[in-house]
Chain A
Amino acid sequence: MSGILAVLEQREGQLHKMSLEALAAAQKLGSELREPVYAALLGAGAETAAQAVSQFQLAAVHILSHDLLAAYTPDGYVLALRQLIAAHSPTYVLLPHTYQVRDFAPRLATSLDRVLVSDVVGHRVENGKVVLVRQLFQGKIASDVHFNGEGPYFASVQAGAFRADSLAAGTAKIEAVSVVLEAAQIRTKPQERFRESARAIDLTAAPIIVSVGRGIREEDNIHIVQELADALGGELAASRPICDNGWLPMERQVGSSGQTVAPKMYLAVGISGAIQHLVGMKGSKVIVAINKDPEAPIFEVADYGIVGDLFQVVPALIEELKKQN
């Protein structure tokens, strides 16, 4: 058993934006543990994506080809990856923590009697042993986790935890891996992907975004945050729970299931800062947070913050902005 295997995600030849971060994690771990690093790609377009991946320093890029892998299914991916793992016996299997990985990776690990350490935000090596860091309680608490027993050890890495721009360049060979699959083994039948409706609001174009979260408590209170957005000339956005409640339309949602934004200023009002929200906005140039809980994770990423009751702070801010204009 040896080597680090990075299972990457691609669609129609296009790598998922988190794929190269998972590859960077694999390279880092590989150099720390002195283990060779491999990448694997599946599905229609894997050959094209493999060309891009082969430009990094890797022992090999494996392509798992089969007609039954063209469209993603958890059954197909689990069966195919088990065959790759059986053939190569990697010590570590790293994956990007995408929706698709969340769908199949726990099943893959369980089928091999292992546990996936999901949503990893960091790691360190202590006496040759890998300690993974992951968040609990929506990012309020961190934890150190290590594996017991034999590999393969499975881990999925959260967006932004590793830097794709740190990848070492190289020339990797591309190897086609044959996979044995039968149609009857794939029990779910995915239909075409679709979008509900065209987005009327493109938050990614807004230079200033004022975003509202659970702290607002009631739909009738949303207007005070809208007034703050107006005073700043910004767009109004929200964390998932606000859109779930129907208080603002889904197209105003920022986070892993909504839009990813990087405005000049992002002002978060009553948002605690769960990782699912942070991944959608932490690239913003300046982050401002208003929250009553000084321990809220949003303050971890904030450049400026006010600890206080938003129902007092927001009106005071609006007044201050108006006064100076």
Chain B
Amino acid sequence: MKIVVAIKQVPARDSLLKVNAEASWIEDSDLSFEINEPDAYALEAGLQLKEKEGGEVIVLCAGPDRATQTIREALAKGADRALHLEVDEAAAGDPLVLSRLLAKALEAEQPDLVLTGLQSDDLGYGQTGVILAELLGLPHATLIMNIETEGAGIRVRRELEDGWFQNVDMPLPALLTIQSGATRLRYATLMGIKKAKTKEIKLLTADELGGLAAPSITVSRLYVPPKTKQSRIFDDSPKEAAAKLVEKLRFEARVI
């Protein structure tokens, strides 16, 4: 099975974020970056399928030069090769603009299965996978917890709301977005890290893939959400803060 896993590099989870002076993006020069967590689960699902069914796992990643590190980590975990679409953050404001480029790159590969995380931890549109399915004319399913091959197609387990699940049968080729937590993530082995150094990372540019289309939405301003609720925040020493909080909960809120 030929599997492409679309991954993204995002600021590390505990980053303290500041909006830049132009209010157009965050100050990202001092941040550290990591693979978008749901994409790590998509990669894991792809690697497990390859182990079971044979074939190839190709990583597809759009991002600036620094994304190379995240791509190398995916290769170290066991992906066979990678496609790196070099674009800067500005291209990502409209998920359709970037998806058109990714779709072009995918068309050239003709995979049996395209996997990606259900959403990114930075922009959080939760759409890239579904948009790609439409652009590529593939059937899709989202929030997938499990994938089994079934004859010429697959049976996937979708997570629904309120603890419900549903199995869905679908033909291949197909696109799935993967829910996080479905399985344990593997670590790269030393051997894997060594091997990754020689694996191919093919660089692609927006121009090669048809160029950036005019965006149909514009993100005009970023800001820290305004505070709407009056809260009492204590930042004294832990002991004093604890005493004050218990006092408030007992005599003001009267909940304990």
Asked if B239 contacts A316 (CB within 8 A), the reply is yes
Asked if A304 contacts B231 (CB within 8 A), the reply is yes
Asked if A138 contacts B124 (CB within 8 A), the reply is yes
Known interface pairs A265-B249, A303-B231, A320-B242. Does A194 touch B218 (Cβ–Cβ under 8 Å)?
no
CB within 8 Å of B: which A164-210 residues: 187-196, 199, 208
Among A188, A193, A317, contact of B245 (Cβ-Cβ < 8 Å): A317
- When chains A and B are docked, how far (Å) is the Cα of A239 from the Cα of B17? 21
Q: Report B-chain residues with C-beta under 8 Å of the C-beta of A286.
A: 249, 253, 255
Q: Report B-chain residues with C-beta under 8 Å of the C-beta of A145.
A: 217-220
- When chains A and B are docked, how far (Å) is the Cα of A244 from the Cα of B11? 21
Known interface pairs A107-B133, A188-B169. Does A136 touch B241 (Cβ–Cβ under 8 Å)?
no
Interface check B222, CB cutoff 8 A = yes
Among B133, B180, B234, contact of A306 (Cβ-Cβ < 8 Å): B234
Q: A258-292: contact bitstring with B at CB < 8 Å (1 yes, 0 no)?
A: 11000011000000000000000000011010000
Report how many A-B pairs have Cβ atoms within 8 Å. 251
Q: Report B-chain residues with C-beta under 8 Å of the C-beta of A313.
A: 238, 241-242
Asked if A324 contacts B246 (CB within 8 A), the reply is yes
Q: B115-148: contact bitstring with A at CB < 8 Å (1 yes, 0 no)?
A: 0001001111111001101110001111100000
State which size class the interface on B falls in: 35 or more
Interface check A240, CB cutoff 8 A = yes
- When chains A and B are docked, how far (Å) is the Cα of A187 from the Cα of B139? 6
Asked if B161 contacts A294 (CB within 8 A), the reply is no
Interface check A131, CB cutoff 8 A = yes
Count residues of A near B (Cβ-Cβ below 8 Å): 92
Q: B172-189: contact bitstring with A at CB < 8 Å (1 yes, 0 no)?
A: 000000011100000000
Known interface pairs A118-B126, A240-B181. Does A188 touch B253 (Cβ–Cβ under 8 Å)?
no
CB within 8 Å of A: which B198-244 residues: 214-229, 231-235, 238-239, 241-243
Shortest CB–CB separation between residue A289 and chain B, in angstroms?
Answer: 8
- When chains A and B are docked, how far (Å) is the Cα of A194 from the Cα of B165? 5
Nearest first, the 5 closest Cβ-Cβ pairs linking A and B are A244-B181, A316-B242, A187-B139, A106-B127, A106-B130
Could you tell me which A residues sit within 8 Å of B by CB distance? 74-75, 78, 98-100, 102-104, 106-107, 109-111, 113-119, 131, 134-149, 187-196, 199, 208, 214, 232, 240-241, 243-245, 250-251, 256-259, 264-265, 285-286, 288, 293-295, 297, 299-309, 312-313, 315-317, 319-321, 324
Other 10 A-B pairs with CB < 8 A, given A136-B124, A307-B235: A103-B143, A114-B96, A141-B222, A143-B222, A144-B223, A146-B217, A294-B233, A302-B231, A304-B249, A306-B242
23 contacts between A and B (CB under 8 A): A74-B140, A99-B159, A103-B130, A106-B125, A106-B127, A110-B135, A136-B124, A137-B122, A137-B124, A145-B217, A148-B217, A148-B218, A189-B169, A240-B180, A265-B253, A300-B228, A303-B253, A304-B232, A306-B233, A306-B242, A308-B235, A313-B242, A324-B246
